[in-house]
């Protein structure tokens, strides 16, 4: 079981690095706007622009 | 919405019940009004705004806008394009007031009107491709704020950016509260970090606790046991020492002000549990509670973060209306050239040009021009006032009919509008706080827990001082009011989220609690009980002259003329020659070879026949504006124009009375108008509705009444104008309704994004349901706590019991808060 004396600090360090990453992301403002990015992902930039001139179906 | 447009009927309002199936606008999908239909055209538009946006998109090959997913879009909305040139944004001083630069690149936050669906994100973020020089553009969809950066080299660029956004249907407004937004964002991030740290600590604590619980049943190696206990302390420390500071600060503030607050018993529990746990680890034996403790801190902070996020969102959306007074003024220079300057810096005596439909930027005196001014925002008067050279006009009022030249007397912070705003701030600062249910409960709770601990100590004293002390501490720890402290924030954040989906933005939990209690509801008449727009209410006499009236009125931009044209939308208009409009009198002209006039009764050149005289008398008594139609010197019809009651007003008012509220009207309108309105409403209801109605109320009088009444009980103020803002801020709950001025939205505690009285009823009913949820939550957690007290007193409590009871009580509170429907959405 003595391996735990080494494994536990490593595990805690791993957890701490995750926390540091979160702090970094928060400070950079990545979590300020949680609503637009999921919408932006839906938007399609490659839609062919010219095909859409025809009037909508009535 | 925009008060510069308040006299122009919106395209949606112009849409008459069409004879053919409604044709949808190519751009926004709203029905196209019959009079705008173009026979044979391939694309139909509901308004000029939509047409210009469509053409803009077509020209830039951006038509795939129409194929973008809409997300959970709001209802179709015509483009808001104003056509302004925004040259004031190029003014270096003004530019500096809302943007920042790093030398090569300047960036600013612009609040956009008209953002309503996911495709708007796509379109707005196309800006760098449309305006050369713009380096980036990101839209924050929830806040409706675009973050735009551009290269510094061109001084013309800011106006071009604003023009382009405007032509796309998103009129931009410089977001002036940049520094405040920055502070809020920093606080937001700081709290989120505390939540994150508490969460990490809780997760790791739990791992060690699990090992310790398992070890307790399987003879753990004592060295390993001690090792794990030390790690438990180390891992919990950041949460206890840093994350939980939020609670310590609250508790300290409560102690200093000698008021009850939930943070007090919470902090006591956290500190005691942490101290006794650390002590027990140092001693090498005794119970530790670090897993329950860190979990508690994490869950409570999360609930607070959620509640705060909901409240801030409500505040931001409510605060993002148009500014009260324009940022700019058109100054007429010596040579007669017109120059756009920032409104604050207009010197006394300078001459300002105000076009029809614009908001007047300064307090001053009319030098040239004849027009009508809508003073509703400032005084609450529903009827426009005629102005001519010599009349005084106030900043924030709207010039309705024709170009005016105004000599500036006061500008910026010296205007009447600015003085009212200062009063609002004062009222908001000096408003007595509302005692929250959870905090009142917490006072009893604290006494109860301390009493129970003492009892535990006394009961276990025969078993030795040490055991008695351990039990008392254990009781304090396990009764730590997790569920109790969660009960309110969770229910409130869930209620606020549901309300926001229903178009009701509530800025805080305190308002929710106040709304649930009966009290006075004082309405400002304009726009809440009535439609807030002149319209034709009665046509007495010959209806065959309608085409003549319409032809004549179509020539004028006066509010009465617009109301008549709208009412006679289905009638054919004829050509008019020799048209004449006289301010305060009426219009006349030659239509189909006959002299036709539509005018006020006193200006009719021939004596009124008896029927017409009676009709005029009756209309005046009912606070309607009478107009007399003369054709070829003969009186043919009398028209009544008034502000019709909203269709849902009567039923809603009756229901509010049924819920135990007392109703009143405080209006800036003439007493006669208010009397007539009350009479009409009560006639329709068939019973008494109001206990108080006063007209001609100044902002100060409204504020005084609210403050006086509030000293005796609960007062809700419902209003929309700047003249209500002070009263809104001072009321227990100030409710600003749709279309309100920015000042009233900021002063109010609740903003209803829909107009009318119905939102008020929904608020009251929803708040009652929300308070029900809070009460049930409190009851749940009290039951769990009693269970814990029972277990402790009988000596059965162990950390593992605490680890079961605390999450169980929290979970039931969470489930109950998020499952219950409090506000109906999407109605």
* Closest residue in A to B202 (Cα–Cα): A15
Mapped onto helix, strand or coil, the DSSP state of residue B597 is: strand
pLDDT band, residue B380 (cuts 50/70/90)? low
- Contact criterion met (CB below 8 Å) for B648 and B757: yes
- In the predicted model, is pLDDT for residue B1 greater than 60? no
Cβ A4–B142 below 8 Å, yes or no?
no
The number of C-alpha atoms within 13 Å of B592 and in the hemisphere containing its C-beta is: 13
Cβ A33–B140 below 8 Å, yes or no?
yes
C-alpha–C-alpha distance, residues B218 and B215, integer Å: 5
pLDDT band, residue B201 (cuts 50/70/90)? very high
For B:25-54, CB contacts with A below 8 A are 26, 42-43
In this prediction, residue B657 carries a pLDDT of 92
* Closest residue in A to B68 (Cα–Cα): A43
Whole-number mean pLDDT of chain A?
77
- Which of B64, B67, B192 is facing A26, going by the closest CB pair? B192
Which of B46-55, B232-241, B399-408, B603-612 shows the highest mean pLDDT?
B232-241
* Residue B410: other Cβ atoms inside 10 A: 18
Cβ B58–A8 below 8 Å, yes or no?
no
Does residue A18 sit at the B interface (CB-CB below 8 Å)?
yes
* Residue B282: other Cβ atoms inside 10 A: 11
Does residue A3 sit at the B interface (CB-CB below 8 Å)?
no
Separation in Å, CA of B296 to nearest CA in chain A: 19
The number of C-alpha atoms within 13 Å of B728 and in the hemisphere containing its C-beta is: 30
- The mean pLDDT of B145-167, rounded to a whole number, is 87
Separation in Å, CA of A11 to nearest CA in chain B: 9
B25-72 pLDDT tens trace: 888 777 776 666 777 777 888 777 788 788 888 888 887 888 777 766
| DSSP secondary structure letters along B185-232 | HHHHHHHHHHHHHHHHHHHHHHHHHHHHHHHHHTT--HHHHHHHHHHH
C-alpha–C-alpha distance, residues B733 and B510, integer Å: 9
pLDDT band, residue B379 (cuts 50/70/90)? low
Does residue B425 sit at the A interface (CB-CB below 8 Å)?
no
Cβ A31–B189 below 8 Å, yes or no?
yes
B239-278 pLDDT tens trace: 999 999 999 998 898 889 887 777 888 888 889 889 988 9
- The mean pLDDT of B677-684, rounded to a whole number, is 87
Separation in Å, CA of A10 to nearest CA in chain B: 12
> Among B113, B40, B53, which Cα is nearest to B742's?
B113
C-alpha–C-alpha distance, residues B737 and A28, integer Å: 37
C-alpha–C-alpha distance, residues B794 and B801, integer Å: 13
For B:92-151, CB contacts with A below 8 A are 118-119, 121-122, 125, 138-143
Q: Which of B72-86, B228-242, B585-599, B767-781 is predicted with the least confidence, judged by mean pLDDT? A: B72-86
- Which of A23, A44, A56 is facing B68, going by the closest CB pair? A44
C-alpha–C-alpha distance, residues B737 and B820, integer Å: 26
Separation in Å, CA of B558 to nearest CA in chain A: 37
> No. of H helices and E strands in chain A?
2, 0
> Among B239, B237, B249, B248, which Cα is nearest to B194's?
B239
Helix (H) or strand (E) run with residue A40 in it:
helix A36-42
In this prediction, residue B235 carries a pLDDT of 94
Separation in Å, CA of B763 to nearest CA in chain A: 26
C-alpha–C-alpha distance, residues B444 and B590, integer Å: 81
Cβ A42–B66 below 8 Å, yes or no?
no
Does residue A39 sit at the B interface (CB-CB below 8 Å)?
yes
- Contact criterion met (CB below 8 Å) for B496 and B310: yes
Quick one: residue B377, left, alpha or beta (phi over 0 = left, psi -120 to 50 = alpha)?
Answer: alpha
Does residue A37 sit at the B interface (CB-CB below 8 Å)?
no
Instruction: Compute the count of residue pairs across chains A and B with CB atoms less than 8 Å apart.
Output: 94
- The mean pLDDT of B786-791, rounded to a whole number, is 85
In this prediction, residue A46 carries a pLDDT of 56
Cβ B142–A33 below 8 Å, yes or no?
yes
In this prediction, residue A25 carries a pLDDT of 93
Separation in Å, CA of B429 to nearest CA in chain A: 29
CB-neighbour burial class of residue A44 (10 A; exposed 0-12, middle 13-18, buried 19+):
exposed
Cβ A36–B141 below 8 Å, yes or no?
yes
Cβ B196–A23 below 8 Å, yes or no?
yes
Does residue B63 sit at the A interface (CB-CB below 8 Å)?
yes
User: What are the beta bridge partners of residue B366?
Assistant: B406
On chain A, the residues whose CB falls within 8 A of the CB of B63 are: 49-50, 52-53
Do strands B351-354 and B371-374 pair parallel, antiparallel, or not at all (unpaired)?
unpaired
Higher pLDDT, B368 or B8: B368
Strands of B2-133 (E only): list them.
99-101, 105-112
User: What are the beta bridge partners of residue B737?
Assistant: B752
- In the predicted model, is pLDDT for residue B177 greater than 60? no
Contacts of B33 (CB under 8 A, 6+ apart): B11, B14, B15, B16, B46, B569
Cβ A52–B42 below 8 Å, yes or no?
no
CB-neighbour burial class of residue B99 (10 A; exposed 0-12, middle 13-18, buried 19+):
buried
Helix (H) or strand (E) run with residue B123 in it:
helix B118-124
- Which of A27, A39, A52 is facing B189, going by the closest CB pair? A27
Does residue B600 sit at the A interface (CB-CB below 8 Å)?
no
Higher pLDDT, B796 or A17: A17
Give Cα B75 to chain centroid, integer Å.
18
- In the predicted model, is pLDDT for residue A34 greater than 70? yes
Higher pLDDT, B654 or B466: B654
On chain A, the residues whose CB falls within 8 A of the CB of B58 are: 53
- In the predicted model, is pLDDT for residue B279 greater than 80? yes
Three-state secondary structure readout of B359-426: ECCCEEEEEECCEEEECHHHHCCCCCEEECCCCEECCCCEECCCCEEEEEEECHHHCHHHHHHHHHHH
Could you say which DSSP state residue B749 is in?
A: S
C-alpha–C-alpha distance, residues A42 and A37, integer Å: 9
Does residue B197 sit at the A interface (CB-CB below 8 Å)?
yes
Cβ B142–A36 below 8 Å, yes or no?
yes
pLDDT band, residue B421 (cuts 50/70/90)? low
- The mean pLDDT of B417-431, rounded to a whole number, is 68
- In the predicted model, is pLDDT for residue B738 greater than 80? no
- Contact criterion met (CB below 8 Å) for B71 and B112: no
Whole-number mean pLDDT of chain B?
81
Give Cα B449 to chain centroid, integer Å.
41
Contacts of B681 (CB under 8 A, 6+ apart): B529, B645, B649, B650, B653, B689, B690
> Among B674, B673, B665, B584, which Cα is nearest to B623's?
B673
- Which of B61, B189, B228 is facing A49, going by the closest CB pair? B61
pTM score of the predicted model: 0.69
B633-650 pLDDT tens trace: 888 999 888 888 888 888
Cβ A52–B138 below 8 Å, yes or no?
no
- Contact criterion met (CB below 8 Å) for B653 and B684: no
On chain A, the residues whose CB falls within 8 A of the CB of B64 are: 44, 47-49, 52
Does residue A49 sit at the B interface (CB-CB below 8 Å)?
yes
B478-514 pLDDT tens trace: 776 677 777 888 888 888 888 887 878 887 778 888 8
- In the predicted model, is pLDDT for residue B13 greater than 70? no
Does residue B184 sit at the A interface (CB-CB below 8 Å)?
no
Test the A interface: residue of B25, B51, B69, B122 with most A CBs within 10 Å: B122
- In the predicted model, is pLDDT for residue A53 greater than 60? no
- The mean pLDDT of B578-597, rounded to a whole number, is 82
* Residue B133: other Cβ atoms inside 10 A: 14
Does residue B440 sit at the A interface (CB-CB below 8 Å)?
no
C-alpha–C-alpha distance, residues B265 and B251, integer Å: 8
On chain A, the residues whose CB falls within 8 A of the CB of B231 are: 8, 12
- In the predicted model, is pLDDT for residue B211 greater than 70? yes
Could you say which DSSP state residue B171 is in?
A: -
- In the predicted model, is pLDDT for residue B212 greater than 50? yes
Could you say which DSSP state residue B243 is in?
A: I
| DSSP secondary structure letters along B294-328 | HHHHHHHHHHHHHHHHHHHHHHHHHH-S--SS-SE
Helix B222-238 to helix B178-217 angle (10° resolution) is 170
pLDDT band, residue B366 (cuts 50/70/90)? very high
In this prediction, residue B205 carries a pLDDT of 92
Separation in Å, CA of B483 to nearest CA in chain A: 27
pLDDT above 90 as % of chain B: 11
On chain A, the residues whose CB falls within 8 A of the CB of B43 are: 55
On chain A, the residues whose CB falls within 8 A of the CB of B142 are: 33-36
- Which of A33, A48, A55 is facing B43, going by the closest CB pair? A55
B430-471 pLDDT tens trace: 666 666 777 777 778 888 888 888 888 898 889 888 888 888
Separation in Å, CA of A15 to nearest CA in chain B: 7
Separation in Å, CA of B227 to nearest CA in chain A: 8
Does residue A10 sit at the B interface (CB-CB below 8 Å)?
no
Does residue A53 sit at the B interface (CB-CB below 8 Å)?
yes
In this prediction, residue B825 carries a pLDDT of 59
In this prediction, residue B81 carries a pLDDT of 74
- The mean pLDDT of B777-786, rounded to a whole number, is 86
On chain A, the residues whose CB falls within 8 A of the CB of B41 are: none
- In the predicted model, is pLDDT for residue A54 greater than 70? no
Mapped onto helix, strand or coil, the DSSP state of residue B21 is: coil
User: What are the beta bridge partners of residue B587?
Assistant: B581, B598
- In the predicted model, is pLDDT for residue B223 greater than 60? yes
Cβ A1–B24 below 8 Å, yes or no?
no
Instruction: Kindly provide the ipTM of the predicted complex, given to two decimals.
Output: 0.78
In this prediction, residue B383 carries a pLDDT of 67
* Closest residue in B to A53 (Cα–Cα): B63
């Amino acid at each position: 079981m003595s391996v735990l004396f080494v494994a536990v600090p490593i595990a805690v360090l791993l957890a701490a690095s995750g926390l540091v990453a979160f702090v970094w992301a928060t400070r950079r403002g990545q979590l300020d706007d949680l609503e637009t990015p999921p919408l932006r992902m839906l938007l399609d930039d490659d839609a062919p622009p010219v095909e859409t001139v025809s009037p909508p179906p009535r | 919405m925009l008060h510069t447009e308040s006299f122009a009927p919106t395209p949606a309002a112009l849409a008459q019940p069409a004879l053919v199936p409604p044709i949808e606008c190519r751009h926004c999908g709203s029905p196209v009004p019959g009079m705008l239909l173009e026979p044979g055209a391939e694309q139909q538009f509901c308004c000029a705004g939509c047409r210009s946006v469509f053409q803009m998109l077509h020209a830039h090959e951006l038509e795939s806008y129409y194929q973008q997913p809409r997300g959970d879009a709001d209802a179709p909305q015509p483009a808001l394009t104003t056509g302004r040139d925004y040259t004031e944004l190029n003014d270096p001083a003004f530019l500096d007031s809302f943007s920042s630069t790093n030398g090569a690149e300047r960036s600013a936050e612009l609040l956009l009107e008209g953002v309503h669906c996911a495709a708007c994100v796509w379109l707005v973020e196309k800006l760098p491709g449309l305006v050369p020089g713009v380096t980036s553009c990101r839209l924050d969809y929830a806040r409706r704020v675009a973050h735009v950066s551009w290269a510094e080299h061109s001084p013309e660029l800011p106006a071009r950016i604003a023009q382009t956004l405007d032509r796309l249907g998103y009129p931009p407004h410089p977001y002036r509260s940049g520094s405040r937004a920055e502070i809020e964002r920093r606080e937001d991030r700081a709290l989120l970090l505390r939540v994150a740290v508490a969460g990490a600590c809780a997760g790791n604590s739990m791992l060690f606790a699990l090992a310790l619980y398992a070890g307790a049943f399987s003879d753990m190696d004592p060295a390993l046991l001690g090792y794990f206990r030390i790690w438990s302390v180390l891992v919990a420390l950041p949460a206890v020492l840093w994350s939980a500071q939020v609670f310590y600060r609250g508790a300290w503030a409560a102690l200093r002000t000698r008021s009850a607050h939930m943070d007090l018993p919470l902090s006591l529990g956290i500190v005691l549990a942490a101290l006794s746990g650390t002590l027990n680890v140092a001693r090498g034996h005794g119970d530790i509670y670090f897993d329950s403790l860190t979990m508690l801190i994490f869950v409570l902070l999360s609930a607070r973060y959620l509640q705060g996020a909901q409240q801030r969102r409500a505040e931001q959306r409510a605060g993002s209306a148009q500014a009260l007074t324009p940022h700019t003024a058109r100054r007429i220079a010596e040579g007669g050239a017109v120059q756009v300057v920032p409104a604050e810096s207009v010197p006394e005596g300078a001459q300002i040009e105000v076009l029809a439909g614009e908001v007047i930027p300064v307090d001053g005196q009319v030098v040239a021009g004849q027009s009508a001014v809508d003073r509703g925002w400032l005084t609450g008067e529903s009827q426009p006032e005629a102005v001519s050279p010599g009349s005084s006009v106030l900043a924030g009022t709207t010039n309705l009919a024709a170009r005016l030249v105004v000599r500036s007397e006061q500008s910026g912070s010296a205007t009447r509008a600015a003085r009212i705003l200062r009063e609002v701030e004062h009222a908001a600062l000096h408003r007595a706080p509302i005692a929250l249910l959870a905090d009142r409960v917490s006072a009893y709770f604290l006494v109860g827990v301390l009493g129970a601990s003492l009892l535990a100590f006394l009961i276990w004293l025969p078993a030795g001082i040490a055991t008695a002390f351990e039990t008392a501490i254990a009781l304090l720890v396990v009764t730590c009011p997790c569920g109790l402290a969660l009960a309110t924030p969770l229910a409130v954040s869930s209620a606020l989220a549901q309300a926001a989906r229903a178009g009701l933005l509530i800025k805080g939990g305190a308002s929710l609690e106040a709304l649930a209690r009966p009290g006075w509801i004082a309405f400002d008449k304009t726009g809440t009980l009535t439609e807030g727009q002149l319209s034709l209410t009665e046509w007495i006499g010959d209806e065959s002259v309608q085409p003549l009236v319409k032809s004549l009125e179509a020539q004028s931009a006066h509010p009465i003329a617009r109301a008549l044209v709208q009412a006679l939308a289905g009638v054919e208009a004829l050509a008019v020659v020799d048209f004449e409009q006289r301010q305060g009198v009426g219009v006349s002209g030659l239509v189909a070879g006959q002299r036709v006039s539509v005018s006020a009764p006193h200006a009719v050149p021939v004596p009124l026949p008896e029927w017409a005289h009676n009709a005029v008398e009756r209309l005046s008594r009912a606070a309607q504006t009478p107009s007399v139609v003369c054709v070829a010197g003969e009186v043919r019809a009398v028209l009544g124009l008034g502000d019709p009651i909203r269709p849902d007003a009567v039923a809603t008012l009756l229901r509010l009375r049924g819920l135990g509220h007392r109703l009143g009207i405080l209006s800036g309108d003439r007493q006669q108008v208010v009397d007539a309105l009350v009479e009409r409403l009560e006639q329709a209801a068939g019973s008494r509705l109001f206990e108080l109605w006063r007209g001609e109320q100044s902002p100060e009088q409204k504020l005084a009444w609210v403050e006086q009444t509030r000293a005796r009980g609960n007062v809700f103020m419902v209003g929309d104008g700047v003249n209500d803002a002070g009263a809104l801020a001072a009321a227990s709950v100030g409710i600003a309704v749709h279309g309100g001025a920015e000042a009233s939205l900021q002063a109010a505690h609740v903003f209803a994004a829909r107009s009318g009285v119905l939102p008020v009823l929904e608020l009251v009913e929803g708040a009652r349901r929300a308070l029900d949820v809070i009460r049930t939550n409190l009851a749940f957690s009290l039951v769990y706590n009693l269970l814990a007290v029972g277990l402790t007193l009988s000596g059965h409590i162990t950390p593992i019991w605490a680890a079961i009871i605390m999450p169980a009580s929290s979970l039931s509170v969470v489930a109950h808060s998020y499952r219950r429907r409090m506000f109906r959405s999407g109605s």
